[in-house]
Amino acid sequence: MSSEKIQKTARKYALQNAVQFNGKANVKSVVGKVIATFKKEDLSPKDIIPVVSSVVKQVNRIPLNEQISELKKTAPELLQKEKKERDFSLPELPDAEKGKVITRFPPEPNGYLHIGHAKASIVDYEYAKMYNGKFILRFDDTNPENVALEFFDVQKEDLRWLGIEWDEEYHTSDHLEKHYKLAEKLIKQKDAYVCVCHSDAIKDGRFQGKECDCRDVSNEKNLYLWKDMISSSVEGAVLRLKGDMKSVNTAMRDPTLFRIIDKPHPLLGDKYRVWPTYDFAGAVEDSLSGVTHPFRTKEYELRDECYFRLLELLKLRKPHLMEFARLSIEGMPVSKRKIKPLIDQGKVSGYDDIRLPTLRGLKKRGILPETIKQFVFSQGISKAESSAAFSLVEAINRKLLDSAAKRYFFVQDPIKLVVDNAPSMKKTISLHPTDEKLGSRIIKTDNIFFVPKTDMKNLNIGDVFRLKDLYNIMITKKNKEINAEYAGEELIPDSAKIQWTAEKVIKMIVFVPGLLYENDNYNPNSLEKVEGFAEDAVSQLETGEIVQFERFGFVRIERQNNNIIGFFAHK
Ligand code: ATP
Ligand code: MG
């Protein structure tokens, strides 16, 4: 067995492994494959491991796009053989019949949607689709204190961006008269009462498991008080369910069903002042709108008892209520309640700040809607609470972008390079390492270039390196700028390949997001501003295009005034 043969096989598998793992092959994995290939020939690992180690080292030094090209040439069959995709489809719903499943997504129009809402809406929407059912978008707009007009449209836009379509749309506030009637029914049945206690007293009562005097008021008086709540200027009264003040489930200790909110509603103005709570509106709306399988996040689990008790008392149909874990992501605020103060305090630039997990923020940094969908599926719908790493989102996005994004040269922190005796060239360079359909650009070069300062630090006078995709040069002088000599075009194995731009560049700023929280502390330095030069062809790009700046990362382009700005998605 010649070591050449082992080497060849090792190289093939090292390339395959590197391509699968973002450019870095792992010696152990490659050794395994090589041993398997030669198992009949009785080779000892001692013969194989040193060869593989050295091959892996060589392969890991080449950039990913070149690894892909080489593998495509030498062993294309291994390029096809990607890791098997996991099947991320949703599990069957209980008691579900084709054509009869109805789901709903019920956002409160009080802010921009985030990746947690994406989870809920995608699951609701996909289930309706899976069963040829119906999907309802319901705006839970029954707290005029929070609701703002702008958010109805904004949330719809964001859902459409995710690729979600709904069969029906309505506002919970459209049904207030109906809610009032049902409340009256509860009062008449002695299942609800108007409570005029101070909110602190109500809290205390719940804590101590003690009933208050309002509970024993006659039906007539209760109805009178209720009508008064609705029509007059009475302050502070609430309607409570007659639950069980001693229940171990504190959610059953006479929960509030309606309260007074004296603030105009953005759609209905001053028409109503008594508004249902989530406990009441959520249950009643799910039932009345025909929803068969409503999902809620797990933190509502204790409130399920109240949900079903209400429907029981009102003799309304009971849906198949289901729960899943709230989505959370390490170092990111996945909640409107947490996002809003960050904006109000100026800690982020707005709802579309690229450090936020809002759909706007994610879109701005180049995360694709398809990525979010795959991510949601990959997380599943179990109740187990956990925090996902954002790198999972990045990995999916990278995979989707890798085959579609055009490659350009960008030099971060550039230093000028003068190549004496450089041939003037017009070089055609492909915009993608494997997909020729993505086209190419022509770069005109003369004797002036820009290269990354950091790459130059490690190189000395006399060192030869390659301007990537162009030619070799040898360093002759290192000062404020670098001088070099043209050193031929022939590829020199293992020589460093350096990113460059020609003299004509566009100055660019790329914003690079980090995690907003480190160990739960706000990190004021979470947004980095990287300055650099991009090759001239970048000036042709349009807002919204996502490209890869080679060796730097995937970047979404935006034109602002006369500048081109980049938002960094991930490596
Ligand atoms: P927030 O704290 O962001 O305001 P919320 O639950 O009050 O959260 P809503 O607009 O009331 O926000 O939520 C609409 C739907 O989205 C609900 O069904 C809710 O359970 C779901 N949802 C909200 N946040 C998440 C999340 N992080 N993960 C999964 N589902 C979520
Ligand atoms: Mg809410």
* The pLDDT of residue 80 is above 80: no
Least confident of 262-266, 334-338, 381-385, 419-423: 381-385
Distance between CA 308 and CA 285 in Å, rounded? 13
108 lines ligand 1 (CB under 6 A): yes
The DSSP H or E segment spanning 166 is none
120 lines ligand 1 (CB under 6 A): yes
Among all ligands shown, which has an atom nearest to the Cα of 143? 2
* The pLDDT of residue 543 is above 60: yes
Instruction: Provide mean pLDDT across the span 443-467.
Output: 95
* The pLDDT of residue 312 is above 90: yes
Predicted pLDDT at 564: 96
Predicted pLDDT at 3: 79
Place of tokens 């249902």: 276
Distance between CA 83 and CA 304 in Å, rounded? 41
pLDDT in tens, 530-539: 999 999 999 9
**Cα dist from 295 to 113, 160, 384, 529, whole Å:** 17, 20, 15, 41
Scanning 134-218, the segments in alpha helix (DSSP H) are 150-161, 176-188, 199-208
Predicted pLDDT at 130: 95
Q: Is 313 exposed, middle or buried (0-12, 13-18, 19+ CB in 10 A)?
A: middle
Distance between CA 17 and CA 29 in Å, rounded? 8
Task: Write down the mean pLDDT value for the chain.
Answer: 94
* The pLDDT of residue 188 is above 60: yes
Predicted pLDDT at 234: 86
Task: Provide the 8-state DSSP code for 382.
Answer: -
The class (CATH top level) of 97-324 is: alpha beta
* The pLDDT of residue 270 is above 90: yes
Predicted pLDDT at 21: 83
Predicted pLDDT at 315: 98
Instruction: Provide mean pLDDT across the span 398-404.
Output: 95
Distance 281 CA to ligand 2 centre (A): 12
Predicted pLDDT at 32: 87
* The pLDDT of residue 81 is above 60: no
Instruction: Provide mean pLDDT across the span 369-380.
Output: 95
With H, G, I as helix, E, B as strand and everything else as coil, classify residue 272: coil
* The pLDDT of residue 495 is above 90: no
Closest CA to 473 of 422, 517, 520: 422
Best probe residue, ligand 1, of 151, 164, 171, 297 (max atoms within 8 Å of C-beta): 297
Q: How many CB atoms lie within 10 A of CB 279?
A: 20
CA geometry: angle 328, 329, 333, nearest 5 deg: 80
Predicted pLDDT at 87: 57
Best probe residue, ligand 1, of 110, 117, 151 (max atoms within 8 Å of C-beta): 117
122 lines ligand 1 (CB under 6 A): no
Chain centroid to CA 288: how far? 33
Give the torsion sign (CA, 362, 368, 373, 375).
negative
Instruction: Provide mean pLDDT across the span 421-450.
Output: 95
* The pLDDT of residue 1 is above 70: no
Enter the tokens of residue 90.
Answer: 């949703």
Instruction: Provide mean pLDDT across the span 360-386.
Output: 95
Instruction: Answer for the pair 229, 260: CB distance below 8 angstroms, yes or no.
Output: yes
Enter the tokens of residue 510.
Answer: 């790329």
Give the torsion sign (CA, 335, 338, 343, 346).
negative
Closest CA to 196 of 230, 231, 232, 226: 226
Place of tokens 């008449």: 188
* The pLDDT of residue 84 is above 80: no
* The pLDDT of residue 164 is above 60: yes
pTM summary value = 0.85
Distance between CA 468 and CA 58 in Å, rounded? 17
- The pLDDT > 70 percentage for the chain reads 98
Distance between CA 240 and CA 206 in Å, rounded? 12
With H, G, I as helix, E, B as strand and everything else as coil, classify residue 132: coil
Domain ranges of the chain: 3-78, 97-324
Chain centroid to CA 152: how far? 21
116 lines ligand 1 (CB under 6 A): yes
How would residue 328 be classed by pLDDT, with cut points 50, 70 and 90? Answer: very high
* The pLDDT of residue 82 is above 90: no
Closest CA to 18 of 54, 65, 50: 65
**Cα dist from 351 to 52, 305, 528, whole Å:** 50, 36, 18
pLDDT in tens, 134-152: 999 999 999 999 999 999 9
334 lines ligand 1 (CB under 6 A): yes
Predicted pLDDT at 385: 85
Distance between CA 173 and CA 568 in Å, rounded? 41
Predicted pLDDT at 86: 52
- Largest Cα–Cα separation, the chain: 102
